[in-house]
Structure 1
Amino acid sequence: MKIYVDADACPVKDIVVKEGVKAGLPVILVTSFSHYSNEKQPEGVETIYVDTGADAADYRIMKLAEKGDIIITQDYGLASLGLPKGCNVLHHKGFAYSNENIDQLLQTRYLSAMARKGGKRTKGPKPFTDEDREKFKSIFLNALKKVSSNE
């Protein structure tokens, strides 16, 4: 079991690294070369760099992820690919993607894109808060417990 992070703009990498390492699970941060860093990661954490193309990180994660792995992403498209593969997919705002909510999330994304294409302005995401951080930590710890009890 591994933890994959769509890491380019992930505000909870620190939580994932700390708790993943503590749980003894490999953490793989997938990020574009434009976010290259010489920062040394703790033992058990690997950084994979990909091209800066729009979905390069998503494709790499899907190539590597297996049933039971945890994927952290804010990308609904990546989430929709991880769910049928049997991955536990979490959003950094503290909710789990599921077969029950993914269609609605994708539909909302599509409608917003069409509105923007038609010249309308849409609201962006709300700012990331300390409450979001705590919600994510809670759901992530629960996911870690769930996968460790299944091993």
Structure 2
Amino acid sequence: MTRIIIDGDACPVTHSVIEMTTGTGIFVIIVRSFSHFSTTIQPDHVRTIYVDSGPEAVDYKIVQITKPNDIVITQDYGLASLLLNKVTMVLHHSGRHYTNENIDTLLAQRHASAQFRRSGGRTKGPSKFTSEDQSQFKMKLAEILKDYIDEE
């Protein structure tokens, strides 16, 4: 069975994923730290797992619970690199797939930016997530879900 696991602390597409998987038979797991605790009642096909607020606690939990048929949504390049050969697909909230072909470049860029910041430089943060980004993600996820729903 296919599951979608969301790195949920700051994921801007969580509600879209929940909405788009309703009635599909695809289970959604949101992994969050306790510092992002919510009392929102979720649909039956959604489960939230809370972990300690320590560094990378969410990432460790996601690595621990993933299975080969899972799809993981994360903006964390390091987590994505750990999962590429473990799960069916790793997806950024922009809709971009992480692949063995692009992950090394992404990690190298992240490392170079971190070194620059440590030496006193300033870098821009990620671009603001727009409604166009949301639409792009939803189109990509709909395309992916179609393939999985047809198979099941």
Shorter-chain TM-score range: over 0.9
Q: Determine the C-alpha separation between the residues in 1 that align with 2:124 and 2:148.
A: 36
Question: Gaps (5+ residues) in structure 1?
Answer: none
1:58-97 aligned within 5 A: 58-97=59-98
Instruction: Decide whether the 8 Å contact of 1:69 with 1:88 is kept in 2.
Output: yes
Shift in Å, 1:87: 2.8
Q: Determine the C-alpha separation between the residues in 1 that align with 2:136 and 2:97.
A: 11
Instruction: Decide whether the 8 Å contact of 2:68 with 2:86 is kept in 1.
Output: yes
Shift in Å, 1:86: 3.0
Alignment RMSD (CA, Å)? 1.2
Shift in Å, 1:149: 4.1
Q: How many residues align?
A: 151
Runs (4+) off by over 4 Å = none
Q: Determine the C-alpha separation between the residues in 2 that align with 1:88 and 1:23.
A: 18
Q: Determine the C-alpha separation between the residues in 1 that align with 2:147 and 2:99.
A: 15
Q: Determine the C-alpha separation between the residues in 2 that align with 1:29 and 1:117.
A: 32
TM-score for both structures, normalised by structure 2: 0.94
Aligned to 2:124: 123
Q: Determine the C-alpha separation between the residues in 1 that align with 2:119 and 2:103.
A: 24
TM-score for both structures, normalised by structure 1: 0.95
Q: Determine the C-alpha separation between the residues in 1 that align with 2:87 and 2:29.
A: 18
Q: Determine the C-alpha separation between the residues in 2 that align with 1:45 and 1:93.
A: 21
Q: Determine the C-alpha separation between the residues in 1 that align with 2:25 and 2:9.
A: 23
